Amino acid sequence: MRERLVAGNWKMHGSLVENKALLDGVVAGLTGLEGVRCAVCVPYPYLFQAQFALQNTSIQWGAQNMSQYEKGAYTGEVSGAMLRDFGCTFVIVGHSERRALFGEDDATVAAKFVAAQKAGLTPILCVGESLAEREQGITQQVVERQIQAVVDQAGLDGFRHCVIAYEPVWAIGTGKTATPEQAQEVHAFIRGLFAPHDAALAQSLVILYGGSVKGSNAAQLFAMPDIDGGLIGGASLNAEEFVTICKAARR
Ligand SMILES: O=C[C@H](O)COP(=O)(O)O
10 is in an annotated binding site: yes
CB neighbour burial string for 160-192, b if at least 16 within 10 angstroms, e if fewer: eebbbbbbbbbbbeeeebbebebbbebbebbbe
pLDDT at residue 35, as a whole number: 96
- Pocket probe for ligand 1: among 167, 214, 244, 245, the residue whose CB has the most ligand atoms within 8 Å is 167
User: Is 242:235 a contact under the CB 8 Å cutoff?
Assistant: yes
pTM across the whole model: 0.98
Query: Which residue out of 97, 104, 133, 167 is catalytically annotated?
Result: 167
Cα–Cα distance measured from residue 138 to residue 136, given in angstroms and rounded to the nearest whole number: 6
Q: How far is the CA of 72 from the centre of ligand 1 (A)?
A: 32
**How many whole angstroms separate alpha carbon 91 and alpha carbon 137?**
30
State whether the beta carbon of 238 lies less than 6 angstroms from ligand 1.
no
- Residue 33 C-alpha from the chain's centroid: 20
- What atom of ligand 1 comes closest to residue 92's alpha carbon? 1
Pick the CATH number of 11-40+167-183+208-251 from 3.40.50.10800, 3.90.550.10, 3.30.310.80, 3.20.20.70: 3.20.20.70
Which residue type occupies 3? E
> Is 158 known to sit in a ligand binding site?
no
Q: Are 187 and 227 in contact, with CB atoms under 8 Å apart?
A: yes
Ligand 1 pocket member 180 (CB < 6 A) = no
Catalytic residue, chosen from 95, 97, 104, 241, is 95
| Nearest residue (CA) to ligand 1, atom 2 | 233
Q: Residue 218: name the closest of 245, 186, 240 by CA.
A: 245
| Any atom of ligand 1 within 6 Å of the Cβ of 67 | no
What is the structure's pLDDT at 148? 98
Q: Please, which residues bridge with residue 164 across strands? A: 125, 207
Written as tens digits, the pLDDT of the chain (251 aa) is 899 999 999 999 999 999 999 999 999 999 999 999 999 999 999 999 999 999 999 999 999 999 999 999 999 999 999 999 999 999 999 999 999 999 999 999 999 999 999 999 999 999 999 999 999 999 999 999 999 999 999 999 999 999 999 999 999 988 888 899 999 999 999 999 999 999 999 999 999 999 999 999 999 999 999 999 999 999 999 999 999 999 999 98
What does the pLDDT read at residue 251? Answer: 85
Q: How far away, in angstroms, is 104 Cα from ligand 1 center?
A: 18
Q: Is 129 a catalytic residue?
A: no
Give every CB contact of residue 133 below 8 A, 6+ residues apart in sequence. Answer: 139, 142
The verdict on whether residue 58 carries a ligand-binding annotation is no
Instruction: Could you list the beta-strand ranges (E) of 79-217.
Output: 90-93, 122-127, 163-166, 206-209
Are 33 and 247 in contact, with CB atoms under 8 Å apart?
A: yes
State yes or no: is 97 an active-site residue.
no
- pLDDT for the residue 173: 87
Domain range list for the chain: 11-40+167-183+208-251, 73-87+96-164
- State the complex-level ipTM: 0.99
How far away, in angstroms, is 213 Cα from ligand 1 center?
7
Beta strands in the chain (DSSP E): 5-9, 37-41, 60-63, 90-93, 122-127, 163-166, 206-209, 229-232
Please work out whether the CB of residue 117 comes within 6 Å of at least one atom of ligand 1. Answer: no
